[in-house]
Chain A
Amino acid sequence: MLKYYGTELNKERNELVLKVEGSDAFEWEGQFSNNGEVARRWLRSKGNSIEGGTSEVQLNIISKRILDLPA
């Protein structure tokens, strides 16, 4: 459950940072953005809910192992 919750939360958090920064968030190279730190971190966060067992797999485990729902 924590894997699911934590990774989805991190994706949302990064989307929020993008919205707060507006167009400033889109610089990919350059000093102003420390070489696109915000944009690159945002893009990287998308992998969180895929790597190490996708969110869909985590939800399957919760529904089968915790809630004991049928296969």
Chain B
Amino acid sequence: MALLLNEEQQLLKETAEGFFSKKAPVSALRTLRDDKSENAYDPILWKEMSEMGFAGLLVDEEHGGTGFGYIGAGIVAEAMGKNLSASPFFASTIISAALIKAAGNEEQKTSLLPAIATGETIVSVAIDEKGQHSPESTVLSAERVHEGFRLAGLKIFVPEGGYASQFIVLSRTSGQAGERDGLSLFVVDRRTAGLIVDTVVTADSRNWAKLTFENVTLDAAALLGPEGAALDILEPVLDRARVVISSELLGISQECLDRTVVYLKERKQFGVLIGSFQALQHRAAELYSEIEITRSAVLKALQVAGTGTDMAMLSSLVKAKASKTAELATNEALQMHGGIGMTDEFDIGFFMKRARVLQALYGDYNYHANRFARLSGY
């Protein structure tokens, strides 16, 4: 497949870029932060996004979505990255919807997917328990009790977890931490007795939560997918989610370059435009090249994501590359903006803070470079 968007995808890109730059630019995130908005998202924006069809991209028509697929998801995520638009788009309509689609029975699909596609229900996923991503290290225990399961343990870094109404929780039903087998997924309503949700104030001014499970008792029907084999379902879904995160990182990188080039053309120092210094021209040109390579890798991965192909290596390649490029882009943007870039009044710092969080989400550069090497048999 050519590394180009078709007409329908190009139209979605223009629509998404116009929508987010108008409705949810960086200044909107700044307002959410300064107002100490409890959930760090705007429900009115989310309703409009849902009406635009952005919440149903991965949900098939049978369940009320558009079934546009991963290329559409990447296009929207990139536009949100450029504008740092805050919403439960990724947490609910990408990773949660894909997990329910891949693992859910008909009843679970019917009760959750249409409500996700309309934006009415916000679902999130709880995977990690420590600072470094590692699904197989899951300790949170799900013990069989006569009425179903009893969950005890802790989850952190849950995206949009402070206001999600349902959580998909990776739990250990058997085996030891570090083992691939013995993991299971459960759908947990946030109002369930024994579940404590704490919102964490983070550097990117977005909503992240810590979940504490104090003997949370669930019906057997809460089990999502096969008991003990969750990673077989979770890994391919995570690989696709990582590509969508990479799209958001790409949007951040592109916006940092665009803003920096504008600045290089207007800022004078020593009587000349700083953009006339060859040292800075080369750095801008190098960053441009890195972003173009990243863009091609991301699009290729988005195309593959829509097929059933195993994409562990490609996903790790893309997440590693997009993370590295975003680190370079945000660092270079800040340095080339000089002292003004350090001030909070200037937006560049917001991009850097968001980028580092996304770089870490579901495995950073080192995690994925290592995984790529392992899968390559090095």
Contact = CB atoms under 8 A, between A and B. Distances in A.
Interface of A: 11, 15, 18-19, 21-30, 36, 39, 43, 46-47, 49-51, 54-56, 59
Contact of A18 (B130, B208, B356): B356
Contact of A26 (B202, B334, B335): B202
Given A19-B366, A43-B353, A25 B131 contact: yes
B349 A43 contact: yes
Contacts of A50: 335, 338-339, 341-342
Contacts of B331: 11, 46
B279 interface: yes
Nearest to A54: B338
A10 B204 CA distance: 22
B201 A22 contact: no
Shortest beta-carbon contacts, A-B, top 9: A22-B131, A24-B131, A29-B201, A23-B157, A22-B132, A39-B203, A26-B202, A47-B342, A28-B203
A23 B335 contact: no
B366 to A, nearest CB: 7
B83 to A, nearest CB: 20
Interface string B315-348: 0000000000001000100110011011000000
B156 A23 contact: yes
B204 A26 contact: yes
Given A36-B203, A43-B353, A56-B279, A23 B342 contact: no
B177 interface: no
B152 interface: no
A39 B132 CA distance: 16
A22 B203 contact: no
A25 B204 CA distance: 11
A24 B128 CA distance: 11
Given A50-B338, A56-B279, A22 B202 contact: no
B200 A21 contact: no
26 contacts: A18-B356, A19-B360, A21-B131, A22-B132, A23-B128, A23-B131, A23-B156, A23-B208, A24-B130, A24-B156, A25-B131, A25-B360, A26-B202, A26-B208, A26-B360, A27-B200, A28-B205, A30-B200, A43-B352, A46-B341, A46-B352, A47-B339, A49-B335, A50-B335, A54-B335, A56-B279
A19 B356 CA distance: 9
Interface string B72-113: 000000000000000000000000000000000000000000
Contacts of B366: 19
Given A25-B131, A26-B357, A46-B342, A55 B335 contact: yes
Interface range for B:
20 to 34
A51 B131 contact: no
Contacts of B133: 22
A26 B342 contact: no
A25 to B, nearest CB: 7
A25 B357 CA distance: 9
Contacts of A15: 327
Contacts of A43: 203, 349, 352-353
B37 to A, nearest CB: 14
Interface in B335-378: 335, 338-339, 341-342, 349, 352-353, 356-357, 360-361, 364, 366
A27 B356 contact: no
A28 B204 CA distance: 9
Contacts of A27: 200-203
A28 B202 contact: yes
A46 B265 CA distance: 23
Contacts of B335: 46, 49-50, 54-55
Interface in B113-130: 128, 130
Interface string B184-195: 000000000000
Contacts of B334: 46
A34 to B, nearest CB: 13
A45 to B, nearest CB: 11
Contacts of A59: 279
Contacts of B349: 43
Nearest to B356: A18
